[in-house]
Amino acid sequence: MTRPSENPAWEAHLALVGAQVGFALYPIFGKIALATIGPLPFAAFRVVAAAALLALLRRLSGAERVAPEDRKRILLYALLGISFNQVFYILGLSLTTAINATILNSMIPVYTLAAAALLKHERLTARAVLALVVAGAGALLLLRTERFDWSSNAFRGDLLLIANGISYAFYLVLSRPILARYRVLTVVSAIFAYGTLPILIAAAPALAAFDPSRVTPAGWASVAAIIVFSTVLPYFWNSWALARMHASRVAFYALLQPLISTVLAVETLGERLTLRTAAASLLILSGLGVSLSPGRLPARPIP
């Protein structure tokens, strides 16, 4: 079995940056879509369309089939990385703010390190803890934690987002071994295919009452953008990199999302770049630099 590299090629880091750009766009497009589409129909549209697109790409590429003995594993990864993850996230986003969602997403590396240590796939080091503290402080500084809303609906939304982060963290840790044995497109398309049915079952009552005429053009455009730029491409790039490096290192790139969101806000909304933003960006990049330096997280052999 291929083991993750301590010094992966620059292409893996570039893929992760691209994935985080896509994920960083999700709360923005998601809020636009949720204005006229309910959260569960939205989740169903996103996952079904992404699964269909990935299945088409897999067929055109001639990717191999998943062996029968691996199908139970794929189902588990699909539940963690697609079904639970998507439903928890979109329900949480519908109840809370995009700021809260971004703050809580920045904690995915913490959950992933804990999951990797719990499952004995990796072991914690002082360097890993330092990297998390520095980058986490930058994310919190950037997002102004004094604006964190713990009122009733937002509180329930935040709890759902925490559940989403934990589910995704276990998906990252558990799915890495199988990515070393199959082509990335094979695994990602199978995970989406397996993860679609539970979401359709959960969304069935809402889909039955759904009225497409109430959705604005901006809502449909946001759904389309999310399917391509915040789902298919990021999941593919993330999985491709996950086959080449430690799960905790892949998860650490989630700390770039608040930074990317701020840059996009400055460029597209004309917001002012402040000293606070610059200081937070420096902390995030410093933590990421500590994380990427050699010898940060020695990996135990994966059974």
152-170 pLDDT, tens digit per residue, is 677 788 889 889 989 998 9
If pLDDT is split at 50, 70 and 90, which confidence band does 300 have? very low
**Is 149 in contact with 96 (CB distance < 8 Å)?**
yes
Quick check: 82 pLDDT over 90?
yes
SS3 state of residue 301: coil
Q: Which helix (H) or strand (E) holds 231?
A: none
Looking at residue 108, its pLDDT comes to 80
Domain range annotation of the chain: 20-292
**Is 223 in contact with 46 (CB distance < 8 Å)?**
yes
If pLDDT is split at 50, 70 and 90, which confidence band does 301 have? very low
Looking at the chain, the whole-number percentage of residues with pLDDT higher than 70 is 82
Quick check: 84 pLDDT over 60?
yes
Residue 3 per-residue DSSP state: P
Quick check: 200 pLDDT over 50?
yes
If pLDDT is split at 50, 70 and 90, which confidence band does 298 have? very low
Looking at residue 303, its pLDDT comes to 29
CB atoms within 10 A of CB 204: 11
CA distance 85 to 195: 10
CA distance 181 to 177: 7
Looking at residue 299, its pLDDT comes to 35
Looking at residue 1, its pLDDT comes to 43
In sign, the C-alpha dihedral spanning 255, 221, 161, 83 is: negative
Looking at residue 268, its pLDDT comes to 62
Digit-coded pLDDT (tens) for 33-60: 998 999 999 999 999 999 999 999 888 8
Quick check: 2 pLDDT over 60?
no
- Matching residue, tokens 């609906």: 153
Looking at residue 270, its pLDDT comes to 61
- Mean pLDDT value across residues 118-136: 76
Q: In terms of residues, how long is the chain?
A: 303
